[in-house]
Amino acid sequence: MKKRNNHINDDLLIRYLADEVTEAERAAVVKWLAENETHQQKLGGYRTIFEESKALRPGGFGDADGAWKRFRERIDEQEETGTSSYPFKKWLSIAAGILVVVSFGIWFYLRETPTVNFYAKDQPLVDSLPDGSLISLSSHSSLAFKPGRVREATLKGEAFFEVEHDAARPFRIHVNDLVVNVLGTSFNIKCTGNQTEIMVRSGVVGISGENQSIRLQAGEQLLTTPGKTWNKQAQTDFNMSNYPGLVQAILKNPKKWPELLKYYTPKSDTQTTAGKNKALVRRIIHQFITEGVASVGGLKTFRLDGSRLIINGIVQPDAVYQRYKVEYLPSPDYFIYFGNEQPKGKGIFVSPDNF
């Protein structure tokens, strides 16, 4: 039986059209399209909306009316010939309605798009952009942000970005002679003179300039110097504690907690053995959550040792155990335990009370 790609959702299709997907995601969409004609029709509908939305201008109700008319003509034509299935006609009707609503929203939003300026003097500045994105400006850095159909920002200095996802409104950052394109992701940009350093914490970003272009994924970084060929590298260090105030801002959104848990360790707790043990346990818990082994806020205890993985008192499947055993246990007699009572033996113990 042919395996279906049930993980293909609307968000992924929109990012595919915007060319903001990883190579693995791109391959998955291509495979999904090859499964049947209905999938191709669905993407075709999305493409129509996507292209029409990009063409909208302030006051451009004519574009929305034209898109609505074209959608209705396609529906009426298929009804007369009887060649279209009901789900697809229904989907087109809904899609056209969404286009009209979105077009009015964009027209209303774009009537006035004043530039918002941020400047960090002697202390770092953490603030929210009008679109909901978070920024953490390093001292003596500035950012000019202009909302609109394309969210435009100009950076001088250094800033960490947690960009709010919006497929209909790409986010572009101008720094030195580069343009950084994102949809929804988090990354750091630092410009010193004519050098620019970009480090990606999550998602994918595209960088262009100097007749070059490159895509960075989570865990990758790029250092550019005028006249030199770009080469991305594995990220060497990314410490969230370097951005005062950003942690508290992210904590206001529980959906971002797993990412925060993975990357943040208090400054005062990074050099000691206990601090390193806590960082490792945070990493494992984050992996549990992202891989669906445990839920956000649902993990109370876990133990990983030479024979099994136990989470909240439940022994996990051997396939899951073997994956974590290979990655985290240095020897068969070693254990990693997150719980209330310290076990005997050689390993790591972290109590939830001191976490």
Give the pLDDT of residue 248: 56
Report the distance separating Cα 128 and Cα 41, nearest Å.
39
Report the distance separating Cα 4 and Cα 128, nearest Å.
40
Report the distance separating Cα 75 and Cα 77, nearest Å.
5
Side chain identity at residue 100, one-letter code:
V
* 183-201 burial code (b ≥16 CB/10 A, e <16): bbbbbbbbbeeeebebbbb
The rounded average pLDDT for each run of 10 residues, N- to C-terminus, in the chain (355 residues) is 60 74 83 86 72 45 46 50 50 56 53 80 84 86 91 92 85 92 82 88 86 87 87 69 56 53 49 81 84 77 93 91 90 90 87 71
Note whether 221 and 215 are within 8 A (CB).
Answer: no
Give the pLDDT of residue 175: 92
Tokens of 276: 């390193």
Strand partners, 206: 181, 215
| Sequential DSSP letters for 221-252 | EEEE-TTS----EE-----GGGSTTHHHHHHT
Tell how many helices (H) and how many strands (E) occur in the chain.
Answer: 9, 19
Crossing angle for the helix pair 23-35 and 37-55, to the nearest 10 degrees: 120
Give the pLDDT of residue 174: 94
